[in-house]
Amino acid sequence: MSAGPVESDLPAGIGRPAHRALVAAGYTRLDQLAGRSARELLKLHGMGPKALGLIRIALTERGQSLDD
């Protein structure tokens, strides 16, 4: 029996592969990505520059950022 959908506020435009990669790594909330390095996130299978850019924008809108 599978669990229901994971609640997430990750940007919708990041695409399914990136979303799955983040959720599999334990990131379901945008706040959890604040302070993480771009290099660390790009190592996740399914994450790419487009998704990373959308995450940066979403974090900036909240006054947060990745740790570069």
pLDDT digit string, tens, across residues 27-44: 999 999 999 999 999 999
Does the pLDDT at position 7 exceed 80? no
d(CA 57, CA 24): 22
Chain mean pLDDT for the chain: 91
CA dist 9 to 1, 32, 43, Å? 24, 10, 21
Using CA atoms, how far apart are residues 26 and 62, in angstroms rounded to an integer?
A: 21
- Beta-bridge mates of residue 67: 37
If pLDDT is split at 50, 70 and 90, which confidence band does 3 have?
Answer: low
The arithmetic mean of pLDDT across residues 19-27, rounded, is: 96
pTM to 2 decimals? 0.86
Residue with more model confidence, 62 or 1: 62
pLDDT number for residue 6:
59
